[in-house]
Structure 1
Amino acid sequence: MKYLKTTTLIIILYFAFACTSNKTAGNVINRNEEKIVLAYVTSWSSIIPDPNYITHINYAFGHVNNTFDGVRIDNENRLRQLVELKIQKPSLKIILSIGGWGSGRFSEMAADEHFRRSFAKDCKRVIDEFALDGIDIDWEYPTTDMAGISSSPADKDNFTLMMKYIREEIGENKLLTLATVANARYIDFRGIGSYINFVNIMSYDMGSPPFHHSGLYRSKHTGGTSVDEAVKAHVNMGVSLNKLVMGIPFYGRGKKEIGNFSNYRNIIALNGYTTKWDDEAKAPYLSSDSVPFVCGYDDARSISIKCKYIKEHGMLGAMYWDYAGDDDEGTLRKAVYNGLNL
């Protein structure tokens, strides 16, 4: 009788585990401990993301307002529409990303005690009003005006104070993240370490033809840095691997005839080019009869290898810019999710 009771208990526990760890959605298995798969979704696109292939959405963008003391959100109705996806997938996290290339007024806000405190309070207001799961800061980049925005040598220290204030206002149960340049400059990562949940490395835009802009490893087609080197740069600056999220582009960098920025969906529709593979960089690229390297980008193969790297190195997951760059079949978003969580 004791044996039968034990066997019955084992069977019950087995089926309970199976039900919680192998719920299917199409060909996707939702597991209790998913790697983060974070999609940037923009205010100017209209596509509705498939939540089965995403764990987090960063809504792009919010901005520091004109009076330096609050948050302005692009296309608020679009944000509300995305939050409704939580009805389909309650575990989905929706985060407002504040900033982006050319988004300014950070330096003035962060430098002033009153503005800094008011901005942090408004981050809390935004979270509550839109039922969000957190705030992502995409200040590109403290101490530099390369994006055509104001800057100051004090930005680095003020960035740390800003993150401290935001954390105090939003509490410990909400997410606070940031996007960072591949070389890990401009931010005191050790100073903000106790305030943040994770770091999204923008491990792309690291070169233009004849160089890859997101090659995993260094090769003869590496002009600036590689993704692997970007990860190591962040670790060297004090970020633990389990707080790092690797950025993957859903677009390529091409020569003039293709365009410096071209979404994956457009790249695969091109005619007159040959697809080649750089086995050192683990990245595809296009060539023509007259030009050896026309466009560097990511495809399902390179993404699969990056996902293996993420898992083997104990990273937290992957993010990508942006959801709308994928093809109609969802080739890249499926490659990211399945590569990390199947």
Structure 2
Amino acid sequence: MKLLLLLLVALATVVVAMPPRKLRAGVPEKPYRYGQPKEGRKLVCYYGSWAVYRPGPGKYDIEDIDPFLCTHLVFGFAALDNTTWQITAFDPWNDLDDNGGKGAYRRFNALRQINPALTTIIAIGGWNEGSEKYSDMASIPERRATFVQSCVQFVQLHGFDGLDMDWEYPSYRGGAEEDKIHFAALLRELKVAFSAAGLLLTSAVSPSRVTIDDAYDIQALIETLDIINVMAYDYHGAWDTYVHHNAPVHGHALDSGNNTYFNVEFTINYWVELMGVHSDRLTMGLPLYSRGFTLDDPALNQIYDNATEAGIAGPYTRQVGVLGYNELCEIHRDQGEAFQTHWLDDLKAKYVIFERDGIRNQWFSYDDIDALAEKMALIDALPIGGAMVWSVETDDFQNTCGEGKNPLLNYILRSLNGFVPTPDPDRTTVSPPSSTTKPSVTIPGDDVCAQAGINPTGPCSGNYVICAPNGAEWIVTQGSCPPGLVINPEILNCDYPDHVAGCQKKKH
């Protein structure tokens, strides 16, 4: 029987070794062809705000986000206070303006001043938040009511367009069997309040069939959620004792038990079947990072070969067994021919083997443009609403690979809608939140435009103009800060008067 299985694998798996010139060099011709670009598809992009603390070239702040590459930007994450049962900022110093904070929420939402078509959402939860306190909150109607009210106020106060409910996962990780019922009730109560306030309600959901069946009341999701982001990744990783792909399109000949469900094709088709005519609300999650292992024996490097140790940690993501695409690009640059990419034709997926301490024992699965092409073809063939990525700060935003900045995001957007709406904007400054804006006009502008970008209209004023060069003239857009704020000329953004020299209120 074992010999038969090995023969099946030999027939089913085509491994193509690729020259180390580029991460994506030499992939076989694709079996799919794209149809006409689809209008209105979504590209939902999560941003992991802790990336601001990464060292060196891995540091990624709000101003590194290209607001034209996504239709929806999701800020990860807010948290649940399990003493008050209210939503709260996870990192107040980074997220808020209070006490000299960095104002990430404000700056994140100000990206809509650059791209007015952009939708911004705050996510609550995530893997590290766990499940238990969400289970405790959702189990008691009074706690749910407190949470719902706090969410509406929080989203409105900080200027987001909606909330992403990222409870991972109801009925699991310390939750209760009744979580499925309570999560449905919570979503329905959130929907009533959010609809009244004109806000979006979305959720990130599991790719696992078993978790889907245990955690989600599908009818409740249909009734309440504007977008359902299917996390079609993390099927395999360092928690396994064998090598397998993070996000394979198809299954493997040796997959058995629950592993037969652990591929993108099964996950998305299962969700489409469950959602029925409402499947256009689904987005397919795409990882912009890799997961990997240290091979027990470097000579045994095929799917299901032994790997009892996690792969290396990247210099920026700093988590064993995880590398951003940007980190893979750096390893490729540094190792040259020791870095070899391979194509698994049955899985329609990529992996790479490279050295650690002179031994080629690092095995990492990942998606590049060629692997993403297979997934974009699957999206094209299905009645779903678009794609989702986790997460923007692990794309090659420094152009280390030589494919341009953000090559994966650019490719995904082109594949979804046939074009990139605009070149990378000049983001030396980010426009502040505006309570009122007026249409742009083209004028000589010398009297109001001292420089490109934001120009205050006077000292200690909350009014400003945004000046964009247009030959010998300027394109000028007028705007104003929210009430009580003024333009701080040092940071060219809205700020409290007490923070701006000469604008402090006199004390009597």
Displacement, 1:191?
A: 2.5
Name which of 227, 230, 249 aligns with 1:198.
Answer: 227
Give the structure 2 partner of residue 24 of structure 1: none
The CA deviation string for residues 81-136 of structure 1, in whole angstroms up to 9 with x for no partner, is 11000001111111111100131411111011111011111111012111211111
CA distance in 1, matches of 2:178, 2:361: 44
Establish whether residue 218 from structure 1 lines up as the match of residue 269 from structure 2. Answer: no
CA distance in 1, matches of 2:379, 2:139: 36
Give the structure 1 partner of residue 270 of structure 2: 233
The CA deviation string for residues 27-59 of structure 1, in whole angstroms up to 9 with x for no partner, is xxxx99331111111221233310111110111
Give the structure 2 partner of residue 81 of structure 1: 107
Judge conservation of contact 2:188–2:220 (CA < 8 Å) in 1.
no
CA distance in 2, matches of 1:192, 1:299: 32
Q: TM-score, normalised by structure 2?
A: 0.58
CA distance in 2, matches of 1:190, 1:129: 31
Name which of 238, 262, 274 aligns with 2:323.
Answer: 262
CA distance in 1, matches of 2:250, 2:311: 27
Displacement, 1:192?
A: 2.6
Name which of 379, 392, 411 aligns with 1:335.
Answer: 411
Give the structure 2 partner of residue 11 of structure 1: none
Displacement, 1:243?
A: 1.4
Judge conservation of contact 1:308–1:340 (CA < 8 Å) in 2.
no
Q: Which is further off, 236-245 or 150-159? A: 236-245
Judge conservation of contact 1:210–1:221 (CA < 8 Å) in 2.
no
Displacement, 1:262?
A: 0.9
Displacement, 1:279?
A: 1.7
CA distance in 2, matches of 1:193, 1:260: 36
Amino acid at match of 1:261: V
Judge conservation of contact 1:215–1:222 (CA < 8 Å) in 2.
no
Displacement, 1:68?
A: 4.6
CA distance in 2, matches of 1:293, 1:127: 43
| 1:28-43 alignment, distance < 5 Å | 33-43=39-49
Name which of 32, 39, 54 aligns with 2:70.
Answer: 54
Fraction of identical pairs, as percent: 26
Displacement, 1:188?
A: 1.0
Q: TM-score, normalised by structure 1?
A: 0.84
Judge conservation of contact 1:211–1:221 (CA < 8 Å) in 2.
no
Give the structure 1 partner of residue 147 of structure 2: 119
Judge conservation of contact 2:249–2:349 (CA < 8 Å) in 1.
yes
Q: Structure 1: any 5+ residue segments left out of the alignment?
A: 1-30
Q: Secondary structure at the match of 2:169?
A: coil
Displacement, 1:235?
A: 2.6
Establish whether residue 96 from structure 1 lines up as the match of residue 122 from structure 2. Answer: yes
Establish whether residue 285 from structure 1 lines up as the match of residue 361 from structure 2. Answer: no
Name which of 381, 384, 391 aligns with 1:312.
Answer: 381
The CA deviation string for residues 277-317 of structure 1, in whole angstroms up to 9 with x for no partner, is 11222211013598798111110111122122112212101
Name which of 375, 380, 392 aligns with 1:323.
Answer: 392
Q: Secondary structure at the match of 2:78?
A: strand
Name which of 191, 195, 203 aligns with 1:178.
Answer: 203
| 1:95-174 alignment, distance < 5 Å | 95-104=121-130, 105-145=133-173, 150-171=174-195, 173-174=198-199
Q: How large is the Cα RMSD of the aligned pairs? A: 2.1
The CA deviation string for residues 234-275 of structure 1, in whole angstroms up to 9 with x for no partner, is 233335321110001111111134341111111122222310
Judge conservation of contact 1:62–1:72 (CA < 8 Å) in 2.
yes
Judge conservation of contact 1:212–1:221 (CA < 8 Å) in 2.
no
Judge conservation of contact 2:187–2:220 (CA < 8 Å) in 1.
no
Displacement, 1:193?
A: 1.2
The CA deviation string for residues 53-89 of structure 1, in whole angstroms up to 9 with x for no partner, is 1110111001111325210122232121110000011
Q: Specify whether residues 222 and 292 from structure 1 end up closer, same or farther in structure 2 by C-alpha distance, changes over 3 A only.
A: farther
- Runs of 4 or more, structure 1, over 6 Å off, are 289-293
Q: Specify whether residues 157 and 68 from structure 1 end up closer, same or farther in structure 2 by C-alpha distance, changes over 3 A only.
A: farther
Q: Structure 2: any 5+ residue segments left out of the alignment?
A: 1-36, 53-60, 97-102, 294-309, 313-319, 399-404, 419-508
CA distance in 1, matches of 2:51, 2:311: 24
Displacement, 1:222?
A: 5.9
Q: Which is further off, 100-109 or 217-226? A: 217-226
Displacement, 1:233?
A: 2.1
CA distance in 2, matches of 1:37, 1:222: 31
Q: Which is further off, 171-180 or 152-161? A: 171-180
